[in-house]
Amino acid sequence: MAIEDTKSDSIARRIRENPAPAARWAAVMAVLVIVEFGALWGGIMALPWDTPMGLLTGVLPGAIGGAVAGIASVFADAGAWLADLPTLLSREWIPNQGHRVPGGGWEGTFLGLEPAYAWVIRVAVVYAYAMFTFYWVWRGYMVFRRHYRYADWTPADDMIDRFRGHNWGKFGLVLVMAFVVMAMFAPTISPTTQEQNIMDPYSHNIEYYNDDAGQVMETSVGQANLLSSSKGVQRNFGLWSYDEYDRFHPTGTFTNGKDMFTLTAYGARISLFIGVFASALAGGIALSLALLTAYYKGIVDLATVVASDAFMAMPRLLVLIMLVTVLADHWVANIYSGGFIIAFLFGIWGWMGLWRAVRGPAFQIVENEWVMASKGFGERPWRIVKKHVAPYVIGYLLIYLSMSLGGYIIGAAGLAFLGLGVTAPTPEMGRLIAAGQSLVTTQSWHISIIPGLMISALVLGFNALGDGIRDAIDPKTGGDDAAGEAAAAGGGG
């Protein structure tokens, strides 16, 4: 502990001695966060934070639980207020919803542009902001590496340099970050709002220019959706189209007339939540058990092996379907429209393969001399595994997590395709695919194909990223070309 405190003091001292690089980086980063704080916080607040609070208030005694619920309500109100703060990249600054005017032109859109162009500008600005923010985070690491780090070289430098030269891994990173930005900024980049398009369309009105009447008229969004649905040969609004109410649809409309891009953007949120939450839960269990079994061995390892075999012997898909069906009427199934229970079950049933993957490396590390020496000096077991074993095992765990995450997303989409899991009105890729499967051979093919391509691209991105991480950590596994060929032939390993 004394060594760690000395290092912490040394870092602070180095910053005090040379504050200019850190101050410049921090000033620009602060501006980037402030101008988009409302949007960033809104994406965070969209997560089901009521879940831990609900569990906590249900377990605690009445008075204490009520007090916790009151405190949670205050924080929720404060969070909602922060999420509503004006942001630089907002729909109000670059609006794309308007109506035509007699004689040509548009009213209500950004600079009077056609809605498609206004929407493209807003999306381009959002992604430009995101790209610069990612670059500036990387720049912050380089500032630390050049000015404030103790050693001139660490093993992590070689890993990062190998990844920077791994084209397939960088391709995967770009795909993943593109989806993360789409999910985080879904309220901004969607052509319409979630409330108008998904939740309550009949409570919102829009103005449009009626050619027959020769004037601007008003109608509810729900009524406009009824006459803007895509149903194959009967009616279709496909890619890059306008409906009769002057609304622009980049990827067409759904079978009920709702905008497809908005559905898929918000659907990406819940898909990423399920994948990340399930991976974090499964990875946490696998890492804990790997460290525990590697240190104590014997009966602890044997019991874990038996438990792992028991879980793997169960028909996973049938068990998941059974549990989702049984818990359909439980209050847990209502959290995030069923997304939480799906992610939780995937995580509980996903630790076995991850544990077996990192169990071997954990056993190897525990047998090293420095671990034996730590035991001889009387260090506590938890400190030994945290300091000497976990840093080496986590690298391997990240490889398998990045690849298994795509499997969780596909699994959630498969359950939604069967009518299980995430429920309406929350959009989910699998349910979108299922709704349009009968229209694949018609002009409304986009209803199933677009969500399917997005799921495929997201999973491909995670698999490619996993290949890049694997080759960066262990260059003996193969080069960039071999990784790309393996992924193309077998799904990325």
Tell me what pLDDT residue 324 has: 87
User: Residue type at 357?
Assistant: A
Q: 421: phi > 0 → left, psi -120 to 50 → alpha, else beta; which?
A: left
281 C-beta neighbours (distance < 10 Å), count: 18
Continuous segment of H or E residues that includes residue 217: strand 215-220
What's the predicted TM-score (pTM) here?
A: 0.85
Query: Shortest CA distance to 473 belongs to which of 154, 153, 142, 155?
Result: 155
Q: How far apart are CA 351 and CA 401, in angstroms?
A: 10
pLDDT higher than 60, residue 3: no
pLDDT higher than 50, residue 364: yes
Question: CA of 320: how far to CAs of 162, 317, 346, in Å?
Answer: 39, 5, 8
pLDDT higher than 70, residue 58: no
What tens digit of pLDDT does each residue of 13-43 get?
888 889 999 999 999 999 998 888 777 777 6
Query: Shortest CA distance to 271 belongs to which of 154, 432, 160?
Result: 432
The helix/strand/coil state of 253 is strand
Written as six digits, the tokens of 353 are 């393969």
* Continuous H helices in 418-436: 429-435
**Is 379 or 134 the better-scoring residue by pLDDT?**
134
**Is 90 or 408 the better-scoring residue by pLDDT?**
408
Predicted confidence band of residue 433 (pLDDT cuts 50, 70, 90): very high
What tens digit of pLDDT does each residue of 454-488 get?
999 999 999 999 999 989 987 776 544 444 443 43
pLDDT higher than 60, residue 71: no
**Is 449 or 332 the better-scoring residue by pLDDT?**
449
Task: Give the residue extent of every domain in the chain.
Answer: 191-258, 270-478
Tell me what pLDDT residue 421 has: 84
User: Residue type at 28?
Assistant: V
Q: How far apart are CA 355 and CA 349, in angstroms?
A: 12
Query: Shortest CA distance to 168 belongs to which of 406, 478, 393, 397?
Result: 478
Query: Shortest CA distance to 107 belongs to which of 223, 241, 228, 208?
Result: 208
Range name among 2-11, 182-191, 193-202, 377-386 with the lowest pLDDT average: 2-11
**Can you give the length of the chain in residues?**
493
Tell me what pLDDT residue 170 has: 96
How far from each other are the two terminal CA atoms of the chain, in whole angstroms?
41
Range name among 109-113, 286-290, 307-311, 470-474 with the lowest pLDDT average: 470-474
Predicted confidence band of residue 204 (pLDDT cuts 50, 70, 90): very high
Q: How far apart are CA 37 and CA 40, in angstroms?
A: 5
CATH architecture assignment, domain 270-478: Orthogonal Bundle (1.10)
* Continuous H helices in 213-315: 221-226, 260-296, 298-313
Query: Shortest CA distance to 251 belongs to which of 123, 407, 112?
Result: 123
What tens digit of pLDDT does each residue of 391-406 get?
888 888 988 898 899 9
Tell me what pLDDT residue 49 has: 58
What tens digit of pLDDT does each residue of 219-265 get?
999 999 999 999 998 899 999 999 999 999 999 999 999 999 999 99
Mean pLDDT value of segment 165-182: 95
Query: Shortest CA distance to 229 belongs to which of 7, 381, 446, 463?
Result: 446
Tell me what pLDDT residue 178 has: 96
Q: How much is the mean pLDDT over the chain? A: 85
Residues whose CB is less than 8 angstroms from the CB of residue 72 and which lie 6 or more positions away in sequence, other chains included: 53, 57
Mean pLDDT value of segment 82-91: 64
Q: How far apart are CA 266 and CA 187, in angstroms?
A: 8
Q: Which of 297-306, 321-330, 471-480 has the highest mean pLDDT?
A: 297-306
Range name among 40-54, 270-284, 330-344, 405-419 with the lowest pLDDT average: 40-54
Tell me what pLDDT residue 5 has: 47
Query: Shortest CA distance to 423 belongs to which of 345, 327, 317, 282?
Result: 327
Q: For every residue of 445-488, which 3-state class applies, written as one string?
A: CHHHHHHHHHHHHHHHHHHHHHHHHHHHHCHHHCCHHHHHHHHH
Phi, psi of 241 (to 5 degrees): -125, 160
DSSP 361-397: HHHHHHTSHHHHHHHHTT--HHHHIIIIIHHHHHHHH
Q: Are 468 and 163 in contact (CB under 8 A)?
A: yes
Range name among 233-237, 281-285, 305-309, 483-487 with the lowest pLDDT average: 483-487
pLDDT higher than 80, residue 44: no
Q: Are 8 and 119 in contact (CB under 8 A)?
A: no
Predicted confidence band of residue 201 (pLDDT cuts 50, 70, 90): very high
Beta bridge partners of 259: 253
Mean pLDDT value of segment 69-79: 55
